[in-house]
Structure formats: C-alpha cells, structure tokens
Structure 1
Amino acid sequence: MGLLGILIGLGVLIWLSFRGWSILVLAPAAALIAALAAGEPLLAHWTQTFMISASGFLAQFFPLFLLGAVFGKLMDDSGSVSTIARFMTERLGPRRAILAVVLAGALVTYGGVSLFVAFFVIGPMAQALFRAADIPNRLMPAAIALGTSTFTMSALPGTPAIQNAIPMPFFGTTPFAAPGLGIIAAIIMLGFGLWWLAHAEAVARRKGEGYGDALVAPDTAADDTLVRERATTAGTFDPPEVHRGHHSESGPSILVAILPLIVVILVNLVMSMWVLPRLDTSFLAEARWGEIPLSAVSGVWSVIVALISATLILVAFNYRRLPALRDTVDAGANASVLPVLSVASLVGFGAVVAAVPAFEIVREWVLSIEGGPLVSLALSTNILSALTGSASGGMTIALDALGATYLQMAVELGIDPALLHRVAVISAGTLDSLPHNGAVVTLLAVCGSTHQKSYFDIVMVGIVGAMVALVAVIALGTLFGSF
C-alpha cells in the first residue's frame, strides 16, 4: 500500500502540474497522499519532513537563485544580452543562422544569464535570422534549446547554472568537477545537435519548405499563466519579471557586454582552485557554523563570489544605461522567489517519499542495477528529472535520498566524487526535457510554435545528444577515471 501511495502521489503531482496547477500546492498535497497511504503521521511529515527538507534547499541554494536572477535581469536591461545576440547575427549572418543562434545562447548562459532571459532576447533575433535565411521556423526552438539548455547547463566545467551547483554539497566537489569529461560531453552535445539541425534544414530545403507563417511576438509568452506555472519549476527566473524594470534604449559595446560573463567564469575558477583552498576555514568545525568541512560549501561560495563580482562590474560599466537600477534589481530579486520555492517544494515532496517505509523497495531496486554507482546514479536522476519535469528538482530529490549511499559506494570502489558530480548533472539535463518540462513549454510559447511542429527536433538536440554524451562520460569515467 505504501508503494501504491508513492505512485498515486507522484501521478497527482505530474497530472495536475501539467494542467497548470501551482507546484506550491501540489507538492505538499502529493507528499501527504504518500504519507497517508503509508499510515504515517500527516502533520508531522508536513512540518518536520517536508518543510525541513524544503528549507534546507532554500538555505543552501537561494543565494544562487537570487544572484543569478538579478544578474540576468541587469544583463537584459543594460542591453548586454541584445548586444551579444546582434554581434553573433552580424558576424555569422543568415547563411549560418542556426550556428549564430546556438552560439549566442551558449555564450550568455555559460556566462550566468538565466536561460529564460535568454529565450526572450534570442527569440526575436532567431526569428529575423531564420526568416532572412528562409529556414523553417519550426527549427527555432531546437536551435535555441541547443545553445541555452544543454551543454552550457550540464557539461561545460565551471558553469554557474544551478544544476551544476546542486551536487557540490553532496559530493564535496567544485563547479569544475571532471573538467576533461565535461568538455568531451559538451563537444558531443554541440556536435550532434548542430549535425541534426543541419540535416533537418537540408531535408526541409529539398522539400521546398520555407520559413512558414509569421509567428507571434515572443514577449506575449511571458504573461501566459500556464507558461509561468511550468517555467518556475524548471528554471531560476519567473517569466513575467522580464517586462519589469527599464530596458536601455542603447546597448554597450560587445567588449563591455561580454566582460561580466568573462568575470563570472574567471572569478569562479580562481575562487574554486586557488583562493578558498588556501583560506583558514577551521572555524567551520564549530557548532555555530554547522560543524561542516569546507568542501560542503566551497562550491556554492565560489559561484556566489563570481556572480557578485560580475554584477558589480556590470553595474559599473553600464550605470548610465540603468536609469531605473532599483526597479531592475527588484525585478530580478522578485523573479527568483517563485522558482526557488517551487523547486524547494519538489525537494520537500521527495523527502517525504524517501522517509516512508515503502521507499526502501525503491532504494534496493535502484542500488541493485547492474553497472555500478555511475549507471545507477544516471538512471535514478534521469527518472526523477523526467517525472518532475525539473532537472534541479529531480537531481536534488535523487541526491537527498541516495547521495550519501552513492558517495560511500564510490569511496569503496575508488571512484572520484567529481565523476559522480558530472554524471549527475548531465543525467539531470537529459530526460528532464519531456513535453511537460517548463523550459520546453516556455520556449515553444516564445517561438510561437507547438509540440507537434517542433518537439521532435528538441528531443534530438536536447535528449538524444545528451544521452550519447552521458554514455560516453560513463564509459570513459569507468575506463580512465575522472579527468
């Protein structure tokens, strides 16, 4: 009966969230269904299991949601993201429209801009390029997804994406975990995705298929209630806040626009590899700091310092382009609240499920999967990310429930925790892109397309390419270890 309750709770969560119900209501309701079926105390699970786990997620990661959303909003309002998009457009032109869209998205998201901010800026650029090149507009969502939601989110070492930060407290790793394997995975994702899009374009041209009908304005998607409910479980930015603040009428030069992105990566690297390891952090062993090792917080601290540094640089170089600085910062801060609460609620649901006795059956099944901890970790993270439609939520649930077990198994088998980190992040960014995923729904709305027209190509660049990269990382990691 307990296992049936878990399945019913999960089914209610998935079905009603797909219909646009708020995850803030659904997650505790689904958790209580699982607890009720197991004969567990309901109120105790809500306040002592659900809320404590959700608040733990907030305590660890809210600074990253907050700083990432504020940074992304400042990049948008200063005109920096638009400048980068125009630069790519001018340099590559309509003849290489797909490559321009992919690289523009990759550059801004690897530099710390929320993928939802990138959607709303790169969408109009993609429309203009695809129209000029007479490329079918149904391929736009896949091109944008390849640049914003694949290798820059899960594979490239040092990415400030929240997905890359989540495994750090569990495994004591840094944002640059397994850099060689991450780069190989990124090359596979990018190469496979570009090959597929080029193939799809060639097939369309042979059939005489052109750009197609005019699309809706991308900005209209930001105020769609259904889009908002799904988007906030899949990203770090609440879409309606895109319209808040004050957008600059003129953008900076390309050097000024790209400078904050460079600062994010460089400061993150310096903090992770040189500064924090050399600091005297023995005070963390005291009870008032949680009696934790530096490895439990160093990765998050690195990203925090990197985003703060980049934000200060951005404001300093674009102060005149931000006449409503307070409004812009407020919009960014507000944009972070609903996403972090939504993901925290998913984490709370996972904590209740993991606490009921029937979960032991699930645990034993997952850990008995042949192939060792890497394969087991990849499968469990993929399944949970697919079911929740959230890479960050699915991965946190998996690591909350089984992270310590995977780490213990890795130590016993001589597996570097950095390899666990990279496998977990790439796995979270694979099957999360199912039709109900918030980023997919938002992207299709921004591009004025539908699942019927564009989803197959999103699957190819966002799921198939990532699966190939994941298999390669597990195989190489098994043979040669982490590098």
Structure 2
Amino acid sequence: MGLLGILLALGLLIWLAYRGWSVLLLAPAAALIAAAISREPLLAHWTQTFMNSAAQFIAQFFPLFLLGALFGKLMDDSGSVDAIARFMTEKLGPRRAILAVVLAGAMVTYGGVSLFVAFFVLVPMAQALFRAAEIPRRLMPAAIALGTSTFTMTAFPGTPAIQNAIPMPFFGTTPFAAPGLGIIASIIMFGFGLWWLDRVEAAARKAGEGYGGADVAPGSIADNEIIRERATTAREFDPAELGRGRHSDAAVPIAVAMLPLVVVVAMNLTMSLVILPRLDFSFLTEERWGGTSLSAVAGVWSVAVALATAILVLIVLNWQRLPTLRASMDAGANASVLPAFSVASLVGFGAVVAMLPAFAVVRDWVLSIGGGPLVSLAVATNILAALTGSASGGMTIALDALGSTYMRIAAEQGIDPGLMHRVAVIGSGTLDSLPHNGAVVTLLAVCGSTHRESYLDIVMVGIVGALFALVAVIILGSTFGSF
C-alpha cells in the first residue's frame, strides 16, 4: 500500500506540474498524500522532514542560485551576451550557422550565464543565421540545446552549473571531478550532436526544405505563467525577470564581453586546486560551524567566489553600460528565488518519500541493479530526473536518499568519489529532457516551434548523445578508474 502511495503522489506531482501548477504547492501536498497512504504522521513529515530537507538544500546551494542568476542578468543587461553572439555570427556566418549557435551557447553557459538568459539572446541570433542559410527553423531548438544544456551543464570540467555543484557536498569533490572523463564525455556529446544536426540539415536541403514559418518574438514568452512555473523547476533563473532592468544600447568590445566568463573559469580552477587546499580550515569541525569539513563545502565555495569575482569584474568593465545597475541587480537577485525554492520543494518531497517504509523496496531495487554501483547510480539519477523533469531536483533526491550508501560502497570497492560525481551529474542530464521538462517547453516556445516539429532532434542531441557519453564514462571509469 505504501509503494502505491508513493507512485500515486509522484504521478499527481508530475501531472499537475506539467499543467502549470506551482511546485511550491504541489510538492508538500504530494508528500503528505504519500505519507497519509503509508499511515505516517503528516504534520511531523511536513515540518520536520519536508521543511528540514528543503531548508538544508537552500542553505547549501542558494548562494549559487543567487550569484548565478545575478551574473546572468548583468551579462545580459550589459550587452555582453549579445556581443558574444554577434562575434560568433560574424566569424562563422551563415555557412556554419549551426556550429555558430552551438559554440555561442557553449561559451556563455560554461562561463556561468544562466540558461534562460542564453535562450532569449541566442534565439534572435539563430533566427537570423538560419534564415540566411535557409536551414529549417525547426532545427533551432536542438542546436541551442546542444550548446547550452548538454556538455557545458554536466560534463565539461569546472562548469559552474548548479547540476555540477550538487554532488560536491555528498562526495567531497570539486567542480573539476574526473576531468579527463568529463572531457571525453563532452567530446562525445558535442560530436554526436553536430553529426546529427548536420545529417538532418543535409536531408532538409536535399528535400528542398527552406527556413519556413514566421518567427516569434522571444520577449513575448517571458511572462507566460505556465511556462514560468515549468521553467523554474528545471533551471536556476526565473524568466519573468528578464524584462526588468534595462539593456545597454552601447556596443561591447568582444574582449570586454568575454573577460568575465574567463574570470569564472580561472577563479573556479584557482580556488579549487590552489587556494583552498593550502589554507587551514580545521575550525570547520567545531560545532559552531556545523561540524563539517573543507571537502564538504570547498566545491560550493569555489564556484561562489568565482561568480562573485566575475560579477565585480563585469560591473567595473561595464559601469557606463549599466545605467540602471540597481534595477538589474534586483532583477537578477529576484530571478534566483523561485527556482531555488521550487527545486528545494522537490527535494523536500523526495526526503519524505525516502523516509517512508515502502521506500526500502525502491532503494533495494536500485542497489541491486546489475553492473555495479556506477550503473545503479546512473539509473537512479536518470529515473528521478526524468520523473521530476529537473536534473538538479532529481539528482538531489537521489543523493539525499542514497548518497551516503554510495559513498560507503565507493570506499569498500576503491571507487574514486570524483567518478561517482561525474556519473551522477551526466546521469541527471539525460532523461531530464523528456517532453515535460521546463527548459524544453520554454525553448520550444521561445523558438516558436512545437514538440511535433522539433522534439525528435532535441532527443537525439540532448538524450541519445548524453546516454552514449554516460555509457562511455561508466565503461572507462570501471576499467581505468577516475582520471
């Protein structure tokens, strides 16, 4: 009966979330339904289990949501993201339109720009390039997804994406966990995605298919409430804040536009591998600091310092191009709140489910999957990311419930925690791109496309390519260890 309650609660959460209901309401309601069917104490689960777990997630990761959204908004309002998009357009042009869109998306997201900020800047660029090159408009969502939502989100070492930060407190790792395997996975995703898009483009040209259809103004999508509710459970930026503040009218030199992105990567690397390991943080074991350790917080600290430094550099370089700096900063800060609390609510739901007696059946099934702990970890993050439509939410639920178990198994079997980190992150970024995913829905809406027109190509570049990369990482990691 308890297992039926879990499935019923999860089904209700997925169905109503897809219809645009707020996860802030759905997650606790679904958790209480599961607890009621299991005859567990409702109020205790709400205030002690759900809220404690959600609050712990906020305490660990809200600084990254806040700084990431603020950085993305300032990059947008200063005109820096536009400058990078224009630079790629000029350098590669219509003849390599798909590659230009993919590389522009990869640059800005690996540099720390929030996904939805990238969407709303890249779409006009892609529209112009694809129209000039007579490439079907239906391929735009897949090209943008390949550059923004695959290897720069889960695989490339050091990415400041929240998905890459979540495993760090659980495994004591850094953003650069398993760098060699991450680079290999990135090459597989990038190469497979480009191969697929080039293949489809060639078939479309052979069939005489042109650009087709009328463009949609991306700004008209930002305030759509249903899209907003779906989007904020999938990524770390509330699209409703995109129109707040004021965009700069002045041109930004490409070096000035790129420098904050370089600062994010360089500072992240320096903090992770040079500065933090050389300092004495033994005081963290004291009760006043939560009785923690450097390994549990170093990863989050590295990304937070990198983003904060890049924000300061960005403001100094673009002081004259940010005429409404306070409004832009307010909008960036506000843009972080709803996504952070939406994902935290999913985490709270997962915590309640994990406390129910029937969850032991699910846990035992996951751990008994053949192929070893790397395979079972990949399956767990895949399934939960698919069900919740959120890579970050699904992965946190999986690691909250099973993270300590996987760490024990890793210690017993001599598996590097960095390898577990990379498998968990890549696993969360595969089946999260199912049709109900908020980022998928938003991207299709911004591009003026539909699931029928464009979703197959998103599946190929966002799911199939990522699954190939995940399998490669598991095989290589199991054979040679982490590197």
User: What TM-score does the superposition give when structure 1 sets the normalisation length?
Assistant: 1.00
Structure-2 residue corresponding to 1:148: 148
Structure-2 residue corresponding to 1:396: 396
Taking the TM superposition and a 5 Å limit, the aligned residue runs for 1:10-49 are 10-49=10-49
Structure-1 residue corresponding to 2:319: 319
1:278 offset after TM fit, Å? 0.7
Structure-2 residue corresponding to 1:71: 71
1:251 offset after TM fit, Å? 2.9
Q: Does 1:228 align with 2:234?
A: no
Work out the CA distance in 2 between the residues paired with 1:464 and 1:48: 40
Per-residue CA distance 1:55-85 (angstroms, 9 max, x = gap):
0000000000000000000000000000000
Task: Report SS of the residue matched to 2:135.
Answer: coil
Work out the CA distance in 2 between the residues paired with 1:231 and 1:400: 23
Structure-1 residue corresponding to 2:291: 291
Structure-2 residue corresponding to 1:191: 191
Is residue 35–residue 45 contact of structure 1 (8 Å, CA) maintained in 2? yes
Structure-2 residue corresponding to 1:215: 215
Work out the CA distance in 2 between the residues paired with 1:341 and 1:121: 26
Taking the TM superposition and a 5 Å limit, the aligned residue runs for 1:86-235 are 86-235=86-235
Q: Does 1:266 align with 2:266?
A: yes
Work out the CA distance in 2 between the residues paired with 1:83 and 1:412: 50
1:445 offset after TM fit, Å? 0.6
Per-residue CA distance 1:297-352 (angstroms, 9 max, x = gap):
00000001000000000000000000100000000000000000000000000000
Task: Report SS of the residue matched to 1:8.
Answer: helix
Work out the CA distance in 1 between the residues paired with 2:280 and 2:178: 25
1:157 offset after TM fit, Å? 0.3
Task: Report SS of the residue matched to 2:40.
Answer: coil
Structure-2 residue corresponding to 1:431: 431
Work out the CA distance in 1 between the residues paired with 2:44 and 2:287: 26
Work out the CA distance in 2 between the residues paired with 1:13 and 1:236: 20
1:133 offset after TM fit, Å? 0.3
Per-residue CA distance 1:113-163 (angstroms, 9 max, x = gap):
001000000000000000000000000000000000000000000000000
Structure-2 residue corresponding to 1:453: 453
Count of matched residue positions in the alignment of Structure 1 and Structure 2 = 483
1:174 offset after TM fit, Å? 0.1
Structure-2 residue corresponding to 1:53: 53
Q: Does 1:411 align with 2:411?
A: yes
The residue identity in structure 1 corresponding to 2:327 is: D
Is residue 82–residue 251 contact of structure 1 (8 Å, CA) maintained in 2? no
Work out the CA distance in 1 between the residues paired with 2:156 and 2:250: 31
Work out the CA distance in 2 between the residues paired with 1:38 and 1:240: 38
Is residue 75–residue 314 contact of structure 1 (8 Å, CA) maintained in 2? yes
Work out the CA distance in 1 between the residues paired with 2:225 and 2:196: 33
Is residue 95–residue 133 contact of structure 1 (8 Å, CA) maintained in 2? yes
Task: Report SS of the residue matched to 1:233.
Answer: helix
Work out the CA distance in 1 between the residues paired with 2:358 and 2:121: 46
Work out the CA distance in 2 between the residues paired with 1:57 and 1:293: 17
The residue identity in structure 2 corresponding to 1:74 is: L
Work out the CA distance in 1 between the residues paired with 2:135 and 2:216: 17
Task: Report SS of the residue matched to 2:242.
Answer: helix
Is residue 169–residue 299 contact of structure 1 (8 Å, CA) maintained in 2? yes
Per-residue CA distance 1:405-441 (angstroms, 9 max, x = gap):
0111011000000000000000000000000000000
Work out the CA distance in 2 between the residues paired with 1:131 and 1:372: 48
The residue identity in structure 2 corresponding to 1:55 is: A
Structure-2 residue corresponding to 1:468: 468
Work out the CA distance in 2 between the residues paired with 1:93 and 1:17: 40
Work out the CA distance in 1 between the residues paired with 2:14 and 2:157: 32
Work out the CA distance in 1 between the residues paired with 2:121 and 2:272: 31
Structure-1 residue corresponding to 2:381: 381
Work out the CA distance in 2 between the residues paired with 1:84 and 1:232: 25
Task: Report SS of the residue matched to 1:112.
Answer: coil
Work out the CA distance in 2 between the residues paired with 1:209 and 1:58: 48
Q: Kindly report the root-mean-square deviation, in angstroms, between the aligned alpha carbons of the 2 structures.
A: 0.4
Work out the CA distance in 2 between the residues paired with 1:220 and 1:461: 27
Task: Report SS of the residue matched to 1:223.
Answer: coil
Structure-1 residue corresponding to 2:7: 7
Structure-2 residue corresponding to 1:480: 480
1:224 offset after TM fit, Å? 1.0
Structure-1 residue corresponding to 2:366: 366
Structure 1 consecutive aligned stretches of length 4 or more whose deviation exceeds 4 Å: none
Task: Report SS of the residue matched to 1:297.
Answer: helix
Work out the CA distance in 2 between the residues paired with 1:452 and 1:261: 35
Per-residue CA distance 1:181-236 (angstroms, 9 max, x = gap):
00000000000000000000001011110000112111111111111010000000
Is residue 185–residue 472 contact of structure 1 (8 Å, CA) maintained in 2? yes
1:474 offset after TM fit, Å? 0.2
The residue identity in structure 2 corresponding to 1:229 is: E
The residue identity in structure 2 corresponding to 1:135 is: I
Per-residue CA distance 1:21-80 (angstroms, 9 max, x = gap):
000000001000110011000010000000000000000000000000000000000000
Work out the CA distance in 2 between the residues paired with 1:340 and 1:186: 27
Structure 2 gaps, min length 5: none
Work out the CA distance in 1 between the residues paired with 2:55 and 2:223: 29
Work out the CA distance in 1 between the residues paired with 2:285 and 2:380: 33
Taking the TM superposition and a 5 Å limit, the aligned residue runs for 1:329-340 are 329-340=329-340
Work out the CA distance in 2 between the residues paired with 1:200 and 1:413: 44
Is residue 109–residue 118 contact of structure 1 (8 Å, CA) maintained in 2? yes
Work out the CA distance in 1 between the residues paired with 2:5 and 2:439: 29
Is residue 189–residue 469 contact of structure 1 (8 Å, CA) maintained in 2? yes
Work out the CA distance in 1 between the residues paired with 2:395 and 2:170: 11
Q: Does 1:240 align with 2:236?
A: no
1:376 offset after TM fit, Å? 0.3
